[in-house]
Chains A and B, each alone.
Chain A
């Protein structure tokens, strides 16, 4: 064990294990998670060469092999519940992307949400056992988050009782679905349903794409890999083009909407129900933001404790870079953010399950808020985590750029979260729509509930708007509750500004769409402020629930840092809204520096508590034992370029000497 890390761990004010239990939800959950992790991490069948040294084709091959092994093992270990597969197996465990992943994360859940009992009977068994491998094909080359813009058409023919699928243009080619290029033999395709000469919007169809037995594309199907990407080397993201391709009527998922044999269309009860899968994935992505940022913090903070550089005092040995204020200022607010997002993620998961049960009982009342909240929080957390991971990488200096740090991989595999499952700006605007609706509701005299209930207290509801300056300015910067209030006021103010600007534009422009566009920067600001408030609120509430004193103390410091740092970064909003005074902002900046010093002794223990195994981190810099340099040298020696002392490309150099 590296001595610096040993010292750090001995000096911590709390036991990381207790905090790990808080993060997992209970000691029992921690035990179960480690059990599953060890089943896989200790299994020789999962050992393979370091992916960083392999070409893209080789990486894909390793991933397919691991997926195949994984399927065998899951049966053996009795992990069958889609939730457990998702939460535990796929991402919690192994830092890796799998080509058959969409079969479990999208194909099967969609079948469950949108398929009839008969359809589930027909497809579920074979897809769970991977007799068929399915993927989910929604995005098209020219169209993404905006679902109504999709062009793929499914035209019903009552004669043959078949749907005829067509990709009429280049822009309509399905593009990006994971596992589509080379792995899957079925896809759930989203297409515009046309029957009896009328278009009824998007519906889901099960489409066989490759022949069972030979794996060759079926006639009428053009399918392939979309080529190299920023990350996700192991994944065969694919394209799919269909030319007059026929599937039987029964292949349309008909739990909600139906097409009768004669072509009559039967409407679903609520068009919101189809959002189920997306809400699930988005709420899951909030947790994913937390996990990835936590990983990056673990690597950067451990390495900063091991790395010595420059000098604070001349003549003395080089200090740990974690002792530099600028380094603490880069990393500790991110650490606090990682904790905040851990709790936001846990909350989202809980809420999703609760509301999903209500939906099962036919109660859709909370769905709009859930939909708005998942959209906004997905965007808010993934934007923040994305920038945070990159900041952690740069905090590791030059070595962060090497794949041995593990950080480039975390970044490139995480960053698509900002664009997939709903582009973030579009997500923020969806949340804004909900906020505007709530604002209007309050304005028309009705109360709103849930996370937006602060709109009920808007000053404009009670007093004259120009008296905004009399809002409570007695913010106590040492009280998380009081800071939550401050964020609430900021959100309320920005929502109100956006609403008023929108109204002004609507009056001036006559067209609601144009007005909406011309206010969209304000609207995104309002959504961000709302999400920020939610994160601060959830973190504050979580701290209060903690019984163990030592854990509560350390989390309270992080919670304060998270809240104060956000104020410092957005000081303009708090000053302009008269929520805080100039001297309070000065105090906030001073308090942040004090907190950096206070958190410093616990920094390593705080990342230890995330409880990532070395294999999961995939980082030489972030090793638990801190033996960074020896292992970096060993790692580099294994690079394929070093196999021969004089590389074969020397021939080019040689000819250079002779010809010039």
Chain B
């Protein structure tokens, strides 16, 4: 195995033209058609073809290469990202790729999202979802033509996910028909928005609306922040970059301090609420409508950012491909691989639900909003948590080389990990889903005739399903039945949700204040929500499998991943399943056996399963993960290009030499 001659790579090999034999042998016998699986992931063979066409266009443009990323300073990364964005826009114009088209999505994927102005699009989307028709007509074309550059400024230095805690104020002055936007304290300074530090000319500022002396909560305002002539900050605006971060060097996350900045009344986005010229406040939606753009961003983020990061990590990246034969290595890599597939189907499912409900919400029908909000919040938290852990696990599974930036893994991790706190801190999001679960559960407890008892939203319909007190499994093989493990997850989720309601009610009955009672039970609410989300994702994955009946080979290989995903969760949370005797000790051992037996089966297809994601080498930008498997040669070649090797060593002249010589002179 390790150290055997096959792992010794001679320097004289013409490696750049050949395939590494280890990798080649992995692809030798295929139990399924990789291309077909790629088509499923892309949503059709046409999409795969289109994506590859776009990729080949992008990769043929030297301006869009990611090659030097690891050697660049923050400044250089920022410039390069803007340059790339600019270049892609020119391409799009030339080739007729329209805004929001698949072509542009694929273009972004092929440069790993390493583009400027990501938040500009959120700015534009928010105007579309929160602005009136009139406002959209005015601002949308300006955005599309890049005549203005926008950012979305919500988070403040002292306040994050909790929207009502924001301090920035917009006070309506009826005399001049203007809003006065102001940061009253240090903690109110807007902090973190992307594109704000150096790029944006306009900011969509979330601020407390004050009119006719009353506070009306958070609303969104369009605030010009930089001169359109010379880009200098406008009067009353203090603005800059917030300094170095773990990653996102290409984005200028910024700060914004507003000192009584005046904007016209028309700059408040008023699809769901407006302020009349005399200062009267008129509400047109539900309080939650303000969250709409956040929900949209979350769904977007899952599809655009988090998922590709996890998937791209799983390329045949191990320098010693045969390290994959170690059981412990399989234990590290296959659960994330299963997750990457599970989350692909979950994200698609969520997107479908989002599209379906979004249009009705824009038309003023808010019936689906609570479920959409709860589902997108919870899934965002779960997916970003799991992806972060998965990526880090993959990085460490690559041993020491995973620590080199040339492996591509550190940058993936530092990027995906940001998603755990932006667009809503994960714990806060889990708790938002928990509130929805508790409400839904209490709804099932109402007497059947009660007027308010409606049908349950689909994602929680299982709360009323008949209960099974004991798992019926009798052999390890029984644990490979999707129905069995889906029910097991449903059982645990229901038990924990009941349990958390019970805890809450006990505290209330003992006289605890409503809010203290909530805070004292949050740990268990989070636990229950996680079980619920596991159930939801397992269910979506199994349903997606059912639709693949016409492709049995692919269905089989994906089913193994689905089994692994469900069982891995059961085993890592075995206590929850053993707790009420739902699983016996013997059944837990059966589940473990079923799980361990899956590893060698997946092992055979592991490389092919990662090939199916179909990431180009340029996009992965990893010395370890290239398609041809020549990890070591590439590592050596890339390292030699590092500026530390090409630009001399000033530290030697200045310090090392005096250190060595000073000593000798004295000796």
Contacts and interface: CB of A to CB of B under 8 A. Distances in A.
Contacts of A309: 159-162, 165
A419 B396 contact: yes
A52 interface: yes
Contact of B650 (A61, A181, A185, A572): A61
A330 B430 CA distance: 14
A362 interface: no
Given A318-B165, A632-B157, A173 B660 contact: no
Contacts of B575: 568, 570-572, 574-575, 585
Contacts of B49: none
A653 interface: yes
A166 to B, nearest CB: 12
B636 A170 contact: yes
A275 interface: no
Interface string B59-101: 0000000000011011100110011001001100100000000
Given A517-B327, A521-B328, A142 B244 contact: no
Contacts of B191: 398
Contacts of A325: 519-523
A150 B661 CA distance: 35
A397 B632 contact: no
A593 B520 contact: yes
A170 B11 contact: yes
Interface in A40-75: 52-53, 55-57, 60-61, 64-65, 67-68, 71
Interface stretch (B25-33, B205-213, B228-236, B604-612): B228-236
Contact of A659 (B78, B90, B422, B656): B90
Given A236-B644, A310-B165, A593-B523, A656 B86 contact: yes
A609 interface: no
A639 B244 contact: yes
Contact of B199 (A227, A589, A653): A653
Given A129-B663, A576-B588, A324 B643 contact: no
B633 to A, nearest CB: 6
B73 A55 contact: yes
A225 interface: yes
B656 A215 contact: yes
Q: Which residue among B71, B326, B403, B573 has the maximum number of chain A CB atoms within 10 Å of its CB? A: B403
Nearest to A649: B79
A95 to B, nearest CB: 16
B425 A142 contact: no
Interface string B578-602: 1111000100110000001000000
A404 B243 contact: yes
Contacts of A582: 578-581
Give the size category of B's interface with A: 35 or more
A473 interface: no
Given A176-B400, A309-B162, A641-B74, A227 B420 contact: no
Given A57-B647, A325-B522, A639-B241, A239 B86 contact: no
Nearest to A139: B400
A175 B414 CA distance: 24
Given A227-B405, A309-B159, A660-B146, A326 B663 contact: no
B425 A397 contact: yes
Q: Which residue among A133, A144, A398 has the maximum number of chain B CB atoms within 10 Å of its CB? A: A398
Contacts of A61: 650-651, 654-655
B475 interface: no
Contacts of B176: none
A171 B632 contact: yes
B469 interface: no
Interface residues of A, number: 132
A60 B325 contact: no
Nearest to A569: B575
Interface stretch (B2-10, B337-345, B541-549): B2-10
Given A130-B660, A325-B520, A629-B186, A423 B399 contact: yes
A56 B656 contact: no
Contacts of A575: 574-575, 578-579, 585
A141 B632 contact: yes
Contacts of B300: none
Contacts of B526: 326
Contacts of B642: 224-228
Contact of B655 (A65, A429, A585, A636): A65
B636 A173 contact: yes
A182 interface: yes
Nearest to A330: B427
B137 interface: no
A518 B327 contact: yes
Contacts of A77: none
Contacts of A402: 242-245
A652 B515 contact: no
Nearest to B396: A418
A142 B327 CA distance: 20
Interface string A464-488: 0000000000000000000000000
5 contacts: A169-B11, A170-B636, A227-B644, A228-B642, A403-B246
Given A131-B664, A224-B642, A225-B644, 5 more contacts: A60-B644, A226-B639, A312-B518, A572-B588, A645-B233
Interface of B: 2-3, 7-11, 70-71, 73-75, 78-79, 82-83, 86, 89-90, 93, 145-147, 149, 155, 157-162, 164-165, 186-187, 189, 191-192, 197-199, 228, 230-233, 240-246, 252, 255, 319-320, 325-329, 331-332, 392, 396, 399-400, 402-406, 410, 413-414, 417-418, 420-422, 425-428, 431, 513, 515-516, 518-524, 526, 571, 573-581, 585, 588-589, 596, 632-633, 635-636, 638-645, 647, 649-652, 654-661, 663-664, 667
